[in-house]
Structure 1
């Protein structure tokens, strides 16, 4: 008696991290094409360019971290959010007072009202910690003083990124994945427009 062939298995849906990497790549590349990163690739960073980059990053991180703080309860302790706040490191690098740093804030932030929107933005900002050690070495070669912001989480940078990826994978659902990816893409776009503007 002939056997009935099994229908082919449907391909597994890509993980949220795989989707984020693939679908935000063009926006990531556009961010990396800015003047600060161009100077780093050319081996010619400047103190002025570094200071401008840090000032712009603060202008983006401050409202982003404010939104995260407002939603800490939705994340829970496993995310270690207090350890992930880094805007204050920029103020230390620039020797600016925390009470009134006198730095402009990004006027066109991505939407950061829902957990999926915050997770998408978090993917972008947590990912930015990974290149910090390389940047620090390039600044050292150019004689530019070390900056704490670029050190990320120091020796914990890798483990903190891995923990974020695991938590994101556990938290994302088929119903929220599209919103997470769209938020990450929008975050890259808003950050690039802010960081790279003349």
Structure 2
């Protein structure tokens, strides 16, 4: 069923994406647990290294989409891989170590508008959650200047609203692709960030 004129039904695409990714989102939050662990400089350095490995290939793919789609979101303003490198430099990581950073293999790379919107949903949302990690990191002694990639460039709230508005305009024919891309991007985050997960028992 749809809401008419190709628009997804009750709740829309945004609600469907949230529902489809909720379980993975909860597991990620519980595994990272920034409020319940000591988020020290060593943990933060590992976090930055791993998140760069996710962001770099995703952002290249998003840039390729944006270059071909005149209605694309502003992916340059959303870029954070470069900020992660800058954060690592603040922590004293040298050029040789930066050159050894690994990208996440098998990252789901968006090539269509629908897939790109699903990816942006995850990446933009992570900057909102990044505020929690920033607070925990700074409280544990991590320099604030090494946390810029967690929340991104100024205007995060505006970018999030632009993403949700774009999702609200997605038609039924593209809804499943948006959801699938968001699910796959969340799954890549969960798999790649698992070395940082808090282990119970």
Match of 1:32 among 29, 32, 36: 29
Q: Tell me the residue number matched to 2:186.
A: 188
1:32 is displaced (CA, Å) by 1.9
Aligned residues: 184
Which shifted more, 101-110 or 70-79? 70-79
Q: Which runs of 4+ in 1 moved over 6 A?
A: none
Q: Tell me the residue number matched to 1:56.
A: 50
Q: State TM-score, norm by structure 1.
A: 0.83
Q: Tell me the residue number matched to 1:168.
A: 167
Q: Distance in 2 between matches of 1:81 and 1:192?
A: 23
Written as runs of structure 1 = structure 2, the 5 A alignment for 1:30-109 is 30-34=27-31, 37-38=32-33, 40-76=34-70, 79-95=73-89, 97=95, 101-109=99-107
Q: Distance in 2 between matches of 1:58 and 1:77?
A: 27
Rate the CA distance shift 1:87–1:190 in 2: closer, same or farther, 3 A: same
Q: Tell me the residue number matched to 1:157.
A: 156
1:43 is displaced (CA, Å) by 4.5
Report which of the two structures shows the higher radius of gyration computed on alpha carbons: 1
Q: Given that residues 40 and 141 in structure 2 are in contact (C-alpha distance below 8 angstroms), is that contact kept between their aligned partners in structure 1?
A: no
1:119 is displaced (CA, Å) by 1.6
Query: Which structure has the highest helix share of the two?
Result: 2
Secondary structure of the corresponding residue to residue 24 of structure 2: helix
Match of 2:19 among 22, 34, 40: 22
Q: Distance in 1 between matches of 2:151 and 2:120?
A: 18
